[in-house]
Each structure stands twice: as structure tokens, then as C-alpha cells.
Chain A
């Protein structure tokens, strides 16, 4: 039925859909450098922001939590993955969330966790926060599109 009406108007059903501003939530399953996932996600987020869309939240899961470590020192002549996420959070207010269970397992800790888990250090990078998996589901419920980047 929709096809008939659209054919009549001379447009395809897909063109008539109003895209408008999209709210994206991104899920990143892999750590920095090991896989391209974090890079692709970053470039996608950057392009989405540049074209007027909203990147509501970026949720880091599995090894993806390593994107939130303050202690990385990549070579000077290569991109600084952690830092550019921090900058995106600062400049555009993108909510960067590490899954608490995954982060704990892999040793990415905020000041709260350092105390709670009785560690001698914390290492969370600026602009990131550590929270529950509920943040991913909530993001999916509230956003228009879920994008998953992994290996």
C-alpha cells in the first residue's frame, strides 16, 4: 500500500521517511589499537556530530573498557585514541561509559573503585565514567540507533 502511494508521488518509500536528527548510542567491544573498532567508532561519532546528529552515549564493553585507561602512551606520530575520546567528551558532551563489571575484570578503576576494591591506584581517563550495563540498555531504549563496533 505504502509503495503504491509513494509511486504515485514519484518518490521511493525510503525517501519519504523523515530522518531528522538522529540520536545514536555506540557500543565498542574492543580495546584501543588491538582492533579497528574504536577507531571506526570514533570516526563515525565525529562524522555524526559534524552533520548535526547527537551521539548520546558511547558504551565500552568487553576489552573496550581499555579505551578509558589514563595510562596509555602511544607513539607520538600515531593517533592518541584515549585522548581523542576524552576531547570529544569535553568538546561535545558525549557520555563515555565503561561497563563496571568489564572494567573491574580488566583493571580500569576510578577513584571510587580504588577505594572500594582496595587498590593502590586508579587509572580512569578524563571524560569517562564507569557505570552499570544498564547504561547501555537505557541508551538503546532512548536512542534512535544502536551502532556496534567490534571484532
Chain B
């Protein structure tokens, strides 16, 4: 089964993203939402780990949450795709199930 993993907490606050990365399998995807969008920025301490996961797993970040936090002027990890809420819905439909890492 393919899983859309959602992560909503900042990787600098909680280890949820780190935990997610331990279990995520190939052909699944990770969507960063809410405070987790900070992990999408290029050059952060977690950026490398996230970037290397991208070889097997698709990475997405919720645009409205990036914009809300004033991050649109910062470069993102190369392999990450920005989606809006409709894109979020599409991803939820596309993957077999959604697993929330709170």
C-alpha cells in the first residue's frame, strides 16, 4: 500500500518528522503541513535527511502554510513540491491511505 504521511510539527520542536522518516517506505509520500513546513527550507539541520529520503519518497509541502509563515522568499529543498489544499485532497485520494504524524 502507498501511504501519504502528513507531518504537522516543526522538526525543531518535535521528533515527529524524524520518526516518520524511520518508517516511510518507497512509493509513499510525505506532506509537510502547519509548523512542519520549516523542514522544507533548504539548508536546515534536517534538510539533508529529508532530501536523501526523496530518492524513494515524494516530498510535498503545503503552500498556504509556507506563505503564512513568510517563507516564500526562501529557497526550498530541490525535490519538494508545493501544493495547495486542493492538491492536499488530491494526494489523499491518490495514495491508499493517509497517516498523520502529530
List CB contacts (< 8 Å) of A1-58 with chain B: 14, 17, 19, 22, 24, 29, 36-37, 40, 43-44, 46-48, 50-51, 53
Given contacts A47-B86, A149-B100, A151-B9, 6 further A-B contacts (CB under 8 A): A24-B92, A36-B35, A50-B86, A147-B100, A148-B100, A150-B8
Q: Which residue of A lies closest to B14 (CB)?
A: A151
Q: B33 touching A40 by the CB < 8 A rule?
A: yes
Is B85 in the interface zone, CB < 8 Å from A? yes
In the complex the two chains form, what is the Cα distance from A33 to B8 in whole Å?
Answer: 15
Is B47 in the interface zone, CB < 8 Å from A? no
Q: Chain A contacts of B34 at CB under 8 A? A: 36, 40
Q: B97 touching A146 by the CB < 8 A rule?
A: yes
In the complex the two chains form, what is the Cα distance from A114 to B8 in whole Å?
Answer: 36
Is B55 in the interface zone, CB < 8 Å from A? no
Among B9, B98, B102, chain A packs the most CB atoms within 10 A around the CB of: B102
Q: B89 touching A48 by the CB < 8 A rule?
A: yes
Is A145 in the interface zone, CB < 8 Å from B? yes
Q: Which residue of B lies closest to A145 (CB)?
A: B92
Q: A47 touching B88 by the CB < 8 A rule?
A: yes
List CB contacts (< 8 Å) of A124-151 with chain B: 144-151
Chain B: interface size category: 20 to 34
Given the contacts A14-B94, A151-B9, A51 and B102 also touching, CB distance less than 8 Å: no
Q: Which residue of B lies closest to A46 (CB)?
A: B85
Q: B93 touching A22 by the CB < 8 A rule?
A: yes
Number of A-B contacts (CB under 8 A): 59
Interface size on A, residues (CB 8 A): 25
Q: B88 touching A44 by the CB < 8 A rule?
A: yes
Q: Chain A contacts of B86 at CB under 8 A? A: 47, 50-51
0/1 interface trace, chain B 59-102, chain A, CB 8 Å (1 if under): 00000100000000000000000001110111011100110101
In the complex the two chains form, what is the Cα distance from A36 to B37 in whole Å?
Answer: 13
Q: Chain B contacts of A53 at CB under 8 A? A: 89, 93
Among B27, B86, B93, chain A packs the most CB atoms within 10 A around the CB of: B93
In the complex the two chains form, what is the Cα distance from A59 to B86 in whole Å?
Answer: 21
In the complex the two chains form, what is the Cα distance from A151 to B86 in whole Å?
Answer: 22
Is B2 in the interface zone, CB < 8 Å from A? yes
One of A14, A19, A149, A151 near B2 (C-beta < 8 A): A14
Q: Chain A contacts of B84 at CB under 8 A? A: 47
Q: B102 touching A150 by the CB < 8 A rule?
A: yes
